[in-house]
Amino acid sequence: MTKLHTRTIGSLTVSSIGLGCMNLSHAYGAPPPAEEGGRLLNRALDLGVTFLDTAALYGGGNNERLLAASVMHRRGEFTLASKCVLDLIDGKRVLDGRPETIAGSLDRSLQRLGTDHIDLYYLHRLDKAVPIEESVGALARAVEAGKIGAIGLSEMSAATIRRAHAVHPVAAIQSEYSPAVRNVEIAVLDACRELGIGFVAFSPVARGLLADGVRDDTYAEGDIRAVMPRFTGANLEHNLKAVARFNALAAGLGITPAQLSLAWVMAQGDDIVPIPGTSNIAHLEEDIGAAAVTLDADTVAQVDAIFVEGAILGHRYTPAMQAQIDTETFPGELEPA
């Protein structure tokens, strides 16, 4: 097994690049067969990845079942993260942050995963109908019961993070972060550093945009990018101009765009761990290769110069999805596109 450099998330020590497991069951068209997903998960562990991220939502529990069937026999080799509050019930996406719902979701996740302990357990989104203190209180009780080891929050604002942290120490904040998506730079990263909280970057290659994986808006059925404003129509046509400059910079460095994006994310601080996702083993190996890439300050500045304000047009989410996002937005970001 290969060893990667490690980083610290709260009390957890994990590989400098983790694996977001969602793609194997959810959101980007038809998922691969379970056997292929299992091979990819095991290959990730063989490459030195020690941080696997799943959720109750992904595939309506099927992603957790995939991990149980594929890698739980190697449980001692990785830190396991999962999430609650968002779920898929009878094929319908449900948001419910009530303590009793969280407790039930956790028990179902433990059962699907075939374990009695999850190392890092997130509130997947903020349920604005339930005070964050109540939702975090449910996780604090789960820590006391030994069912989870650490508490995380996903796509939440600095103000919400501070309220949550006052109830129980938060180990990790997870939000979208890449050269093209910088919302957490408004306030979340500062709050994490003030409070000693680690940061986990999901979609660190911008849902494939910065991995040379999006060239037009022809997507497979079931691919969430087909309804995301920045991935379609005139917005995408505009955005691909910045992407072309980014790709050229990567080529000049002798690395792939995905590796440049991941290396840029890691260069933002030793307290940041990206968790790219893929269903392709070759792409996985490419992503993990970024762990060996170190960018100098000039290259980081060149990336930043490509993604100045206006370089990327279109909202991050549809209005319905954005309604569940608590992370800060830039002035004008949510105005009609």
Output DSSP code: residue 28: B
Cα separation, 61 vs 190, in Å, equals 33
Asked whether the beta carbons of 63 and 46 are under 8 A apart, the reply is: no
Write the Ramachandran bin of 200: left for phi over 0, alpha for psi from -120 to 50, otherwise beta.
beta
Tell me the HSE value of 14 on the side-chain side, using a 13 A CA sphere.
31
Give the three-state DSSP class for 175: strand
Cα separation, 67 vs 110, in Å, equals 11
Which of 226, 301, 297 shows the shortest CA–CA distance to 28? 226
219 is catalytic: no
> Which residue among the candidates 28, 58, 122, 317 is catalytic per the annotation?
58
Q: How far is CA 175 from the centre of its chain?
A: 6
Asked whether the beta carbons of 192 and 199 are under 8 A apart, the reply is: yes
- CB neighbourhood size of 286 (10 A): 20
Question: What are 28's strand-pairing partners?
Answer: 223
Residues with catalytic function: 58
